[in-house]
Amino acid sequence: MKIHRIDHIGIIVNDLASVKAFFLEMGLKEVGEAEVQGEWVEQIIGLSNVKETVSMLEIPGGQTMLELVKFHRPLDEMGVQPISANTLGIRHIAFAVEDIESIVSRLEKQGGELVGKIENYNNTYKLCYIRGPEEIIIELAEKIK
């Protein structure tokens, strides 16, 4: 058995357009969008009567993709819940970037908010958390040269 890489990371969203715009602003590229339904997907995810829109976004370099999924049915009755960085479960996705300040500025124009501030870690990395649409938290990491 051998693991090659992470193929994609799935994020379930309500407002597909705003979440997609946020990640496109970061520099990801949309590689496709499709309506998905039927028994085959129901068997994979363990839900019935599924209808969803899936948008695949490629991270530059093509090693990993983000899968943004908008469920039209069945709906999540609880909706988006406020979370903090220490909430149990998968909480953020980290991206290695160049020019962290520029990316933060662009994401803030898309409604992103810094969770804390951009911090210099041991003169090795500039790091920050930024909250995007629907409470999605991403970490940006810029290696200091």
Segment 46-77, tens digit of pLDDT: 999 999 999 999 998 888 999 999 999 999 98
Which of helix, strand or coil describes residue 123?
Answer: coil
What residues have CB less than 8 Å from 26, skipping those under 6 apart? Answer: 95, 103, 106, 107, 138
**62 CB contacts (<8 Å, ≥6 apart)?**
none
Task: Please indicate, yes or no, whether residues 56 and 111 belong to a single structural domain of this protein.
Answer: no
Q: Is 120 helix (H, G, I), strand (E, B) or coil?
A: strand
What is the structure's pLDDT at 1? 86
- Cα–Cα dist 27/68, whole Å: 15
Return the amino acid letter for 1.
M
Q: pLDDT, tens digit, for every residue of 81-113? A: 888 888 888 889 999 999 999 999 999 998 999
Q: Are residues 51 and 17 in the same domain?
A: yes
Residue range of the domain that includes 127: 92-143
Mean pLDDT value across the chain: 93
Q: Beta partners for 114?
A: 130
Question: Using 50, 70 and 90 to split pLDDT, how confident is the model at 140?
Answer: very high
Contact 85, 129 (CB under 8 A): yes
Within-domain flag for 25: yes
Q: What is the CATH number of the domain that holds 128?
A: 3.10.180.10
